[in-house]
């Protein structure tokens, strides 16, 4: 199998011409990259907030609130008794501190 030297030279010349053209089209900047040039932090925050899926976020928050309300309703007696025990213990500690002051 032989190679055609003229065709190979033409291909190399063509590739070199394409690389030269591509290099001429490349524009190198010496400034740092900024996705939104000229926009301050509050503007970027506004753009972020505008693109958030608010319907999905509200649905998730409403679901979470419903689950917490249902759980607190189901376990209300246990929650009330634990809160009552906690408050009673704190009041007893304060009363014991008043009755037996430490020097």
Q: How far apart are CA 81 and CA 70, in angstroms?
A: 18
Q: What is the pLDDT of residue 102?
A: 67
| Domain count of the fold of the chain | 1
Whether pTM > 0.85 for this model: the answer is no
Range(s) of the domain holding residue 61? 5-99
The distance in angstroms from the start CA to the end CA of the chain is 105
* 34-54 pLDDT per residue, tens: 666 667 778 878 888 899 999
């Amino acid at each position: 199998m032989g190679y055609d030297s003229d065709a190979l030279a033409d291909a190399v010349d063509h590739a070199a011409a394409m690389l030269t053209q591509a290099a001429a089209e490349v524009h190198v900047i010496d400034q740092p990259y900024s996705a939104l040039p000229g926009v301050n932090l509050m503007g970027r925050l506004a753009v972020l907030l505008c693109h958030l899926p608010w319907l999905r976020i509200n649905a998730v928050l409403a679901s979470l609130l419903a689950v917490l309300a249902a759980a607190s309703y189901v376990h209300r007696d246990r929650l009330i008794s634990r809160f009552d025990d906690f408050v009673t213990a704190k009041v007893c500690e304060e009363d014991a501190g008043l009755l037996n002051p430490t020097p």
